[in-house]
Amino acid sequence: MAVGRSLKGHAMHFLYMLQIVGGGIMVLGYFPQVRQIVRTKSVKDLNIKTFMFLCLGIAMMEAYAIGLVVHEHTGSAFLITNTAALAVNIMVVIMIAIYRKPAAADTEVSLEEQPAID
């Protein structure tokens, strides 16, 4: 029986590490986008709704992770990585809101630029 428990413990440790590493990769995956936004101050091709839906989904998983930690005393790796992902995602939503130009400013054409109609 001790061997079975030992293998289970190693398997759970391995799964915990997968969550930490995978979650870390997931969070780091946002940083090229964040760096580009900060560098260019442009979010022209980003859809804020996409990132808002991602925030909603991650927030729901965050609630699940909190429930695991509080009630089952497991899932701390899940909670840590979800918290980081949610924070970065919220940061992207805020940057899109800050750097987004009004739609009218992109499509506005002055009278001088319009072709003359004869």
pLDDT tens, N- to C-terminus, the chain (118 residues): 555 567 778 888 898 899 999 999 999 999 999 999 999 999 999 999 999 999 999 999 999 999 999 999 988 999 999 999 999 999 999 999 999 987 655 555 555 555 556 5
Helix axes 76-99, 31-40, angle to 10 degrees: 20
pLDDT at 36: 95
pLDDT at 46: 94
DSSP state of 69: I
Q: What are phi and psi of 95, to 5 degrees?
A: -65, -40
pLDDT at 11: 86
pLDDT at 5: 62
Record the tokens describing residue 49, joined without a space. Answer: 């709704």
Residues 75 and 16: beta-carbon distance below 8 Å: no
Record the tokens describing residue 15, joined without a space. Answer: 């799964």
Sequence-distant contacts of 28-31: CB under 8 A, at least 24 apart: 30/85, 30/88, 30/89, 30/92, 31/88
pLDDT at 101: 82
pLDDT at 12: 84
pLDDT at 88: 96
62-83: b (≥16 Cβ within 10 Å) or e: beebeeeeeeeeebebbbbbbb
